[in-house]
Amino acid sequence: MLIKDTEKWANHLFKHAELGDERRTKRLVKISHQMASNTGSSIVKASGSQASIEGAYRFLRNDKVDADNIATAGLNSLLPAITLSNTILALEDTSTLCYRHNVTKELGHTGAYKQSSSKGMLAHTVLMVDAETERTIGLGAQHRWCRKDENFGTANDRKRRKYETKASYKWQRSSEEMSTRFADVMDNIISVCDRESDMFDYKTINNQRFVVRAKHERVVNADGDKLSPYIENQSSEASYSVKIQQKGGRKARIAKVAVRYACITIYPPKKHKKLGGMNLTVISCNEIDPPSGTSPLSWKLYTGEPINSASDALKIVRFYELRWRVEEFHKAWKSAGTQVESFRMQTRNNLEKIIVITAFIAVRLLQLRELVVDKDNEKSISCDNFFNLLEWKLLWSKTETKKAPNTTPSLHWAYYALAKLGGWHNSKQTGVVGWEALWKGWFSLSQLLEGARFMQAQQQEM
């Protein structure tokens, strides 16, 4: 559950951080609270006073403070919430954080060319979501690393390298980390991964539940049948409609999708012949009669979950559809929400600390947005569960021309009012609010509140 108060939220996340000194832990809580209260701001703007600014930079420059210890505290704080869910989706994805300032000498290559001036880190994130409510619970794991110079341009040698030394090992590393951290509830966790994770090694992890999008055209039975023709020859068991959002030149549309499923056996690479085959279910989703000139929606999903009916198959498809949530997390992390790529720390160690802190803030922003979007009954829910009287009346005064109502307006109204305050105009007629507009609005409201509270305090002193 989201903790609205930023100070209580920061304390919940980091109060048990083991940083070698209680004062460091208190400083971590304070920095996180200040940055969460001033989303998208620099450390200087978020800190406020000169003493707070100096304290924040002293903390970030302290070599005795390790980014992994900060992350561990935040990740471990998730356990009480995890135990309340019957089924948890572990949504996995990798993103690149790019930087161009002096610290790049300590970072790795992010592009296709070794001479590129852009350097950075890769971050593999696991976002935990309740499968029943579809609400974001928090971060379940995160691993950060830099590509080494000696490994750059050696893709052709990857088959000769040990699995544990490859970047693709990130999927198994995350599973092992979750198995340790959430050992008591690991049976309730299903990893949901994209095509990059379609590796035999990953799918053989003991007791790991998964939904993986297929990438390779594998043999799926002892007769030598290949995946695509085999599954497409199965009869369609169900169909459903999915909304495809507008993106770039692609228009928004409602796609009708045919669903098929079948039990298969996939076989290991030659080097792992002794392992034998693995029994799975494959589910295919193919768009029916897509518009001319558009790429049809087409997925093939592997899972070890029992599929005994079309409704079981559709449930797995929905799990995979939710994987976009971790991509939304990355947008919140990089956009005006926290602007993680805008920080200019002068060493990798210092930079990684702020990267970790802002990752948790980005999750909080994602949870805030979930309160007011994608709800079937959002127009009937009052915004007073989230905005107090002063907050929503300030928001009303800045975005509406008519007099404020006597009853509290809806969360639906508050969401779009925040967007308007941030400069959103729905120019594309999609109704979709981008992160930048939303958090500009949130920051503007925070500034208005600060001014209003100052005026209230002044009046009380008079």
Q: What is the pLDDT of residue 211?
A: 96
- Residue 203: CA count within 13 A, CB half-sphere: 29
How many C-beta neighbours within 10 Å does residue 37 have?
19
What predicted TM-score, i.e. pTM, was given to this entire model?
Answer: 0.87
- What spatial distance separates the first Cα and last Cα of the chain, rounded to whole Å? 41
Residue type, 237: E
Query: What are φ and ψ of residue 328, in 5° steps?
Result: -65, -35
Which token pair is 268? 């290991």
Cβ neighbours of residue 49 closer than 8 Å, sequence gap 6 or more: none
Q: What is the pLDDT of residue 342?
A: 87
Which token pair is 447? 């500034």
Distance separating alpha carbons of residues 180 and 182, to the nearest angstrom: 6
Under a CB-based contact definition with an 8 Å cutoff, are residues 380 and 410 in contact?
yes
Q: What is the pLDDT of residue 111?
A: 67
How many C-beta neighbours within 10 Å does residue 249 have?
5
Distance separating alpha carbons of residues 332 and 435, to the nearest angstrom: 6
Q: What is the pLDDT along the chain (462 residues), one digit of tens a residue?
A: 678 788 999 999 999 999 999 999 999 999 999 998 877 778 888 888 899 999 999 999 999 999 999 999 999 999 999 999 999 999 999 999 998 877 667 888 886 656 666 789 999 999 999 999 999 999 999 999 998 766 555 555 555 555 555 667 898 899 999 999 999 999 999 999 999 988 887 777 667 899 999 999 999 998 999 999 999 999 988 999 988 877 777 788 899 999 999 999 998 877 666 777 889 999 999 999 999 888 899 999 999 999 999 999 999 999 999 999 999 999 999 986 788 988 888 889 999 999 999 999 999 988 888 876 655 555 677 887 678 888 899 999 999 999 999 999 988 888 889 889 988 887 766 677 877 787 788 778 877 887 887 787 777 776
Cβ neighbours of residue 164 closer than 8 Å, sequence gap 6 or more: none
- Residue 302: CA count within 13 A, CB half-sphere: 30
Phi-psi region of 188 (alpha: psi -120 to 50; beta: other; left: phi over 0): alpha
Query: What are φ and ψ of residue 324, in 5° steps?
Result: -60, -20
Distance separating alpha carbons of residues 278 and 201, to the nearest angstrom: 11
Go through the domains of the chain in sequence order and give each one's CATH number: 6-68+345-370 (1.10.246.40), 87-153+161-334 (3.90.350.10), 378-461 (1.10.740.10)
Query: What are φ and ψ of residue 374, in 5° steps?
Result: 60, 35
Scored b (16 or more CB within 10 A) or e, 126-140 reads: bbbbbbeeebbbbbb
Which of 150, 152, 147, 155 is CA-nearest to residue 119?
A: 147
Q: What is the pLDDT of residue 439?
A: 75
For the chain, the C-alpha Rg in angstroms (whole number) is 24
Q: What is the pLDDT of residue 372?
A: 64
Distance separating alpha carbons of residues 382 and 397, to the nearest angstrom: 18
Q: What is the pLDDT of residue 112?
A: 60
